[in-house]
Structure 1
Amino acid sequence: MSQSSRSFDKTNEYERESLLNLNEQSRRPEDAIFENRKTDWKSMWIIAVMQFVCALQISVHSMSMWPYLLDIDKEATTSFLGWAGAMNCLGNTVSLPLFGLWNQKSMSVKWPGICGMLIAGFSQLLYSSAYLSPGSNGLVIVLVSRLLTGLGVGNMAVFRTYAATASLPKDRMKAISMQTASIITGFSVGPVISAAFTFLGSHGIRIGVLRFSMYNTAGFAMVILCIASCIALLIWFNESYVGILGKSVLESDNFVIPRYNVFALFVCGYSCTIATVLASGIAIMSSPLTQALYGWSHAELITYNGILNAISCLVSILTSVVLSMTLLQHLDKRVQILIGSVVFLVSQVLMWPWSFYPGPLRSNTTENGLDMCPVHYEWCEHTHQSPHLVYILYAVLFMGVAFALVENAAGSLLSEVIGPRKQGLIQGIFGSASSLAPFFSTLAVMNLFSEFGYGYVILLQATFTIVEIVLVILGWSQLVPVKLKVVEKSDSN
């Protein structure tokens, strides 16, 4: 009996030890350090506004650029439109790691942010003045201006890094969601701002040598906004890196930050990159696509696509709020990435020019009296028209739900995989990759669109999405936050 009692006591002791070990495992070593720290939400909101302004610089001309190019030079082609869109990505590719390195070395957000805004403001002034040199010279000015825009908004690497390193682990998802929501809102509101000036018409209003038309007035507005952003950063922004554990803190508490998992970094980076690739693809293709499919005029494509972007903006904000403010913020980030990827894939399947859709497009021209494919494409002879409702679902679900899900989860998980260390250079490098890929994909998208039709663009996008799903599934066990290791005093000396 006594032997049984001792056995029972040992069992209870073992269970108690197991429960203690379980509690210790659920509590990360760094949690004790972060207990007395707080996330500075004022600075987070300012950074979110800066991200919004940067996204505006990229997207404000996405719907109006095509008619603006034709206004400057009647011989402009959709291939040139692809180059104009790609220049922004090229500028980003160069500047993102440079801004990230600047932040890494100086631990400053304010001055890199101001520098980028000034460059972006100058680029918008250049873009809006391109009409003063009609013909090929004006097109070159547009190219240079978009390159400078990309160089300027490279400061987004600094803002992204700040969101990841100035927030506590428990606030990380909310902080990243705020930034993502701001970026998506900027991407969505940009075309709406451009659409707001359609009442000016293509000839616009002249004040001296300046012409304010529906194509370039939004650019002048962006100049003012960039200057205002510089003033806001200078006066109201204060930096607070509560999410970084310095060397002295780590040594005093006997902690070591282990190396990050390279494959996990790659998967997170690929997810963010593909989300950007798909978003930039639909943004640059939307104007010639809707003109070809539905015969929209220049004013209509700017207005209607702007409205769709506004609706998409509301959906994306709602998605980000739900992810950051409700119990869904605790949903596994890997699951969020998969859900977003599936939404991407479903929208692409719907948008495919199925044979049971109306068409072909060329027959619609004579049958319905609509000016389909006003720019001649050979693929119009056999390509069917995706219905208006399908395009609306594609545009709204694509940007509103899928992009928010993938970008929020992948961006947050990326910062957690890197760990509580300086992230400026790493974030800049990944941001650069996220810009280099759209540079090539934008050129590929517009060439595929011109030569073979939008169906092949959808096929390319679906392929990227399927690869993303496979990578997340394969790397499931590795896509977890890095955990600090506790070392003995003797080991650290």
Structure 2
Amino acid sequence: MAQGLVGSITFIMYIVFININVEKYLKLRTNCILGLIFMLIFHFMTYPYAIYNNHVKYNNETDHPEIGCNVSRYKWCFELTAISPWLYYISYIVLIGVSFPVMTISLSTLFSKVLGPRRQGTHQGWLQVFSSFGRMFGSMASASMYVNGGPRPVWQMEIAIIGTTIAAWFLFFNSMVAYRPPKPRPVHEGSENSNQSIEFVHHS
């Protein structure tokens, strides 16, 4: 159900971008930063802080062994706290449902403008290649970290990556602008006369 609501919000956001000139009110660079901030807020809100009183249920405490944390396999189950399911699902639907379409549309449009008349297909293709590498290696790293330490190190890694990306956006904010072809250098009249005089002396 949560995925369905996220899909509905994503569809609404696409309709908004199609019918409204959002760039008139918010720059594409600002939209990308806001999307990252929403993702960062989501991870901070859903992080299983140690100060929480509620702990996850163990699989040997339930009637169904597939439900709960497997204490025989994961030793971190004894230290893992639980957050409210309502908090998780509401923040996931709202924050992730808004941030992903906003970032997807804004980043694709901005990257196209930054490239300008250069080889769009090649550069867009390389962007997708590295994006695929990130999803592939990121999922493997997350799985390994989850097995060894639980969801906390995974959340910490994502918070660090998102925070670093936001810092990079602020650092290069003024450079992320549409491509502007270099202006031709003006030819001064004095330089033409001097060239002509040099040519005259040479021939004489």
| TM-score (structure 2 length as normaliser) | 0.79
Name which of 128, 139, 143 aligns with 1:431.
128
For 1:404, the aligned partner's letter is P
For 1:325, the aligned partner's letter is N
The answer (yes or no) to whether the contact 1:347–1:397 under 8 Å persists in 2 is: no
The answer (yes or no) to whether the contact 2:40–2:162 under 8 Å persists in 1 is: yes
For 2:69, the aligned partner's letter is C
Aligned residue runs from structure 1 range 270-281, under 5 A: none
Aligned residue runs from structure 1 range 106-125, under 5 A: none
Q: CA deviation at 1:369?
A: 6.1
The answer (yes or no) to whether the contact 1:358–1:386 under 8 Å persists in 2 is: no
Aligned to 2:42: 347
Aligned to 2:9: 315
Q: CA deviation at 1:421?
A: 3.3
For 1:353, the aligned partner's letter is P
**Structure 1 residue 333 and structure 2 residue 28: aligned?**
yes
Name which of 65, 68, 80 aligns with 1:372.
68
Structure 2 CA distance for partners of 1:444 and 1:395, relative to 1, 3 Å: same
Unaligned runs of 5+ in 2: 188-204
Aligned to 2:190: none
- Provide the C-alpha distance between the structure 2 equivalents of 1:432 and 1:318, rounded to a whole number of angstroms: 28
**Structure 1 residue 386 and structure 2 residue 80: aligned?**
no
- Provide the C-alpha distance between the structure 2 equivalents of 1:319 and 1:329, rounded to a whole number of angstroms: 14
For 1:339, the aligned partner's letter is L
* SS at 1:450 equivalent: helix
* SS at 1:383 equivalent: coil
Q: CA deviation at 1:399?
A: 3.6
The answer (yes or no) to whether the contact 2:69–2:77 under 8 Å persists in 1 is: yes
Indicate the structure (1 or 2) with the bigger Cα radius of gyration. Answer: 2
- Provide the C-alpha distance between the structure 1 equivalents of 2:58 and 2:3, rounded to a whole number of angstroms: 30
**Structure 1 residue 479 and structure 2 residue 173: aligned?**
no
The answer (yes or no) to whether the contact 1:362–1:381 under 8 Å persists in 2 is: no
- Share of identical aligned residues, percent? 20
Q: How many residue pairs get matched?
A: 183
Aligned to 1:407: 104
- Provide the C-alpha distance between the structure 1 equivalents of 2:172 and 2:35, rounded to a whole number of angstroms: 17
For 1:361, the aligned partner's letter is V
Q: Where is the helix percentage greater, Structure 1 or Structure 2?
A: 1
Aligned residue runs from structure 1 range 18-417, under 5 A: 307-330=1-24, 331-357=26-52, 359-362=54-57, 366=61, 371-374=67-70, 376-417=73-114
Q: CA deviation at 1:321?
A: 2.3
Q: CA deviation at 1:325?
A: 2.0
The answer (yes or no) to whether the contact 1:416–1:481 under 8 Å persists in 2 is: yes
* SS at 2:178 equivalent: coil
- Provide the C-alpha distance between the structure 1 equivalents of 2:75 and 2:45, rounded to a whole number of angstroms: 23
- Provide the C-alpha distance between the structure 1 equivalents of 2:163 and 2:43, rounded to a whole number of angstroms: 11
CA deviations 1:341-399 (Å, max 9, x no partner) are 11001100011002344532246963x76731258321111101122112213432354
Unaligned runs of 5+ in 1: 1-306
For 1:324, the aligned partner's letter is I
The answer (yes or no) to whether the contact 1:345–1:462 under 8 Å persists in 2 is: yes
The answer (yes or no) to whether the contact 1:320–1:404 under 8 Å persists in 2 is: yes
The answer (yes or no) to whether the contact 2:42–2:96 under 8 Å persists in 1 is: no
The answer (yes or no) to whether the contact 1:348–1:462 under 8 Å persists in 2 is: yes
CA deviations 1:108-138 (Å, max 9, x no partner) are xxxxxxxxxxxxxxxxxxxxxxxxxxxxxxx
Structure 2 CA distance for partners of 1:448 and 1:437, relative to 1, 3 Å: same
CA deviations 1:15-63 (Å, max 9, x no partner) are xxxxxxxxxxxxxxxxxxxxxxxxxxxxxxxxxxxxxxxxxxxxxxxxx
Structure 2 CA distance for partners of 1:362 and 1:382, relative to 1, 3 Å: farther
**Structure 1 residue 467 and structure 2 residue 159: aligned?**
no
Q: CA deviation at 1:324?
A: 3.4
- Provide the C-alpha distance between the structure 2 equivalents of 1:347 and 1:430, rounded to a whole number of angstroms: 26
The answer (yes or no) to whether the contact 1:347–1:393 under 8 Å persists in 2 is: no
Q: CA deviation at 1:322?
A: 2.2
- Provide the C-alpha distance between the structure 2 equivalents of 1:345 and 1:365, rounded to a whole number of angstroms: 34
- Provide the C-alpha distance between the structure 2 equivalents of 1:430 and 1:309, rounded to a whole number of angstroms: 26
- Provide the C-alpha distance between the structure 1 equivalents of 2:143 and 2:95, rounded to a whole number of angstroms: 19
| TM-score (structure 1 length as normaliser) | 0.35
CA deviations 1:181-229 (Å, max 9, x no partner) are xxxxxxxxxxxxxxxxxxxxxxxxxxxxxxxxxxxxxxxxxxxxxxxxx
* SS at 2:92 equivalent: helix
- Provide the C-alpha distance between the structure 1 equivalents of 2:53 and 2:63, rounded to a whole number of angstroms: 14
Q: CA deviation at 1:327?
A: 4.1
